[in-house]
Structure 1
Amino acid sequence: MIINFAERLSDSPYVETIAHGHTASDGSAIRPAESHWHMVLVRQQKNNAQLLVVGPWSTAGVAAWGADAEILWIKFRLGVFMPHLPVRNILDAETPLPGATSRSFWLKSAAWQFPAYETVETFVGRLMREEVLVYDPVIHAVLQDQPAAISPRTVRHRFLQATGLTQSQIRQIERAQQAAALLRQGVSILDTVYELDYFDQPHLTRSLKRWVGHTPAQLFRSAQLE
């Protein structure tokens, strides 16, 4: 399990959330699909750190971790990506970045100091200024149902370039996450079907098994046990 877990929203317009925690023992758990990609800093010992580029995850799967690790997660907003490292190359994978020193790593032919929980915004700001990271505003606009003055084919290309996923995949993942949240709050399965406009209960079940890794009944029972 992970203990001493803390998460906060970010002041950066390019970061969704920042989380920090420690692992008490080896373990694994089902993890849901995730439309956002992350940078994850893992410290097994004080002078043994590695930075990973993680996801997005196109389906639910299993996450595993080792004992006695300190972990920092940086979850980027949709539309933020690294042009030199195409998202299709990191989709459904954990990609380690090479270490430079015990306190830094290599990215785009430069050494970067590992960020801390309190300094993520400064770190990301430098990456943006050096154009290691870029942001495509079309992604947010389209997901907010704002009209885009480009063709549907171009929109699809921009989504695949910036997120590694199609607009439809992102919307399905987000709807499944909303359904899981409702069920965990004790909302009935049928009310969840109605609330989120699923066709019927089997449709909801297929969606949750694919994107969340649990059935509606499993999620609803978890609410009753709390």
Structure 2
Amino acid sequence: MPDASGRSFYLNGSAWEYPTFEHAETFVNRLVKQGLIATDPCVEAALRGQPKPLSQRTEQRHFLRVTGMTQTTINQIARARHATNLLKRGVPILQVAYDAGYYDQAHLTRSLKYFIGQTPAEITRGEEQLSFLYNTDGT
């Protein structure tokens, strides 16, 4: 196995160089070519809210194979992101819990701590910066 340096990592049995901003597209194309990432029209349609006529079990298998997560987990992440966006806009915590479909404030707090890494109060106060990759504009 080739040596991985400080500028590379192991993936699928070989060393890969960390992508730079300028080479990100080449990196993604290499991942696709190696079969390490994939798209699935059934999953894309379900995420857009236009599911294909598949059985529930078939749809579950598609989600797990393509994303590595269940559709339920993906929906929970989306709900946590929505709640975070509401909190960042100054919506009161109890209203966020209701608007985002949580059972109560404790349910909201557990979910945000698990998926976002911060409690609703921490998000509201803005004590810690959310990940640079976290999209806070709601899209």
Judged with a 3 Å threshold, the aligned counterparts in structure 2 of structure 1 residues 141 and 216 are, in CA distance, closer, same or farther, namely same
Q: What pairs up with 1:13-162 in 2 under 5 angstroms?
A: 48-51=6-9, 98-99=14-15, 105=16, 115-129=19-33, 131-162=35-66
Instruction: Count matched residues.
Output: 124
Task: Provide the rounded CA distance (Å) in 2 between the counterparts of 1:132 and 1:123.
Answer: 11
Q: What pairs up with 1:211-226 in 2 under 5 angstroms?
A: 211-222=115-126
As a proportion of its length, which structure holds more strand? 1
Judged with a 3 Å threshold, the aligned counterparts in structure 2 of structure 1 residues 52 and 137 are, in CA distance, closer, same or farther, namely farther
Q: Which runs of 5+ in 1 are unaligned?
A: 1-46, 54-84, 86-96, 100-104, 106-112
SS of match in other structure, 1:202: helix
- Are residue 190 (structure 1) and residue 64 (structure 2) matched? no
Q: Which has the higher contact order (CA 8 A, sep 6+)?
A: 1
Judged with a 3 Å threshold, the aligned counterparts in structure 2 of structure 1 residues 173 and 132 are, in CA distance, closer, same or farther, namely closer
2:113 to 193, 205, 209: 209
Letter in 2 for 1:208: L
Letter in 2 for 1:194: Y
Letter in 2 for 1:166: T
Percent identical pairs in the alignment equals: 41
Task: Provide the rounded CA distance (Å) in 2 between the counterparts of 1:209 and 1:98.
Answer: 35
C-alpha RMSD of the superposition? 2.7
Shift of 1:131: 4.0
As a proportion of its length, which structure holds more helix? 2
**TM-score, normalising length from structure 2?**
0.72
Task: Provide the rounded CA distance (Å) in 1 between the counterparts of 2:112 and 2:6.
Answer: 37
Shift of 1:157: 0.9
**TM-score, normalising length from structure 1?**
0.47
* Deviation sequence 1:45-72 (CA, Å, 0-9, x none): xx7412366xxxxxxxxxxxxxxxxxxx
2:42–2:51: 8 Å Cα contact kept in structure 1?
no
SS of match in other structure, 1:148: coil
Judged with a 3 Å threshold, the aligned counterparts in structure 2 of structure 1 residues 168 and 48 are, in CA distance, closer, same or farther, namely closer
